[in-house]
Amino acid sequence: MYDFESIHLSTSVDDAVAALAADPGAIVISAGTDVLVQIREGRHAGCRLVSVHELPELKGIRMDEGGTIDIGAASTFREVHESEVVARWLPALCQAADTPGGPQLRAVGTVGGNVCNGITSADTASSFVAYDAVMCVRGPEGDREIPVSEWYTGPGRTSRAHDEVLVRIRIPRAGYEGFAGTYYKYGKREALEIATMGVCCLVRMAPDGEHIDDVRLAFGVAGPHPKRALETEAALRGLTVDEAVTRVGELACAEMNPRTSWRASKEFRLQLIAELSRRLVRQTAERAVGVDGAAGDGAAATGSPSERGGASA
């Protein structure tokens, strides 16, 4: 049984914002893959819901003329995974969107819900963190943009105000251009599993094809919320791939702070951080370098994205 008092079926984002502003206790719901489970478990008993399900304003994946990739908050995991724009320019996000739950959940679950719940194990969250995404929300005072670095404020918490709706997630061209990307989710089984550890790695190689020009490492379940390993990244820039692989495990473990839970111990998660960091840095660097040292699969090398296949999904 689902114990909720009422549901407001919003006709627009502004309508949803007004409904939330009028009811401080209301809860936003889209597909409901998180909220309905929580209600069934007895949380939020007697709650009032504000539905933003299937609002056209929250749908669509496209690239603008400047190369910014715009993902509607109500885009499903399957839509993100199957988007040509995402596959071409955001390969790590493309991989991450194919990991939550099973096919049924990915057909209805949304990336907006995945980041709004604030959970550290959210599969797409670490990729959005690595790509320096910008969260675009709308509230009673209008629209505002929140850098993903300021989005997560604690376990299960974000900087979205109660009366705000996440409308779109934007990834500027600088967030992905020249980078190859890989996402890896570790769990006890390959499907229908919450991540024991999630790692997103982006690598951009120097023109010589041997040294790392830039690298980004973002982890899920390595702390209270998805987090970039900024100190580790700084230490790896300018190193050869072999040098980076040798150092990254120890550096990342020193920077992350996983906890022990019933899924895994802190010690095991630190082992995963070290091993997966080494594997993903090497694997992603290999993807980023072609035979001639140019940027390769999953990385934009030259020319504007709009000139190189950046079409609407």
Contact 174, 133 (CB under 8 A): no
Residue 309 pLDDT grade (very low, low, confident, very high; cuts 50, 70, 90): very low
Mean pLDDT of 256-262: 95
Tell whether 156 and 202 lie within a shared domain: no
Tell whether 76 and 168 lie within a shared domain: yes
Tell whether 93 and 193 lie within a shared domain: no
Tell whether 259 and 210 lie within a shared domain: yes
Query: Which range of residues forms the domain containing residue 218?
Result: 180-288
| Surface-to-core class of residue 142, CB atoms within 10 Å of its CB (0-12 exposed, 13-18 middle, 19+ buried) | exposed
Tell me the chain's radius of gyration from C-alpha atoms: 20
Compute the half-sphere exposure of residue 63: CA atoms within 13 Å on the CB side of its CA.
25
In a domain, 282, yes or no: yes
Mean pLDDT score of the chain: 91
Tell whether 99 and 165 lie within a shared domain: yes
Query: pTM score, two decimals?
Result: 0.90
Q: What is the CATH number of the domain that holds 31?
A: 3.30.43
Contact 74, 33 (CB under 8 A): no
What is the reported pLDDT for 303?
35
Q: What is the pLDDT of residues 78-134, one digit of tens each?
A: 999 999 999 999 999 999 999 999 999 999 999 999 999 999 999 999 999 999 999
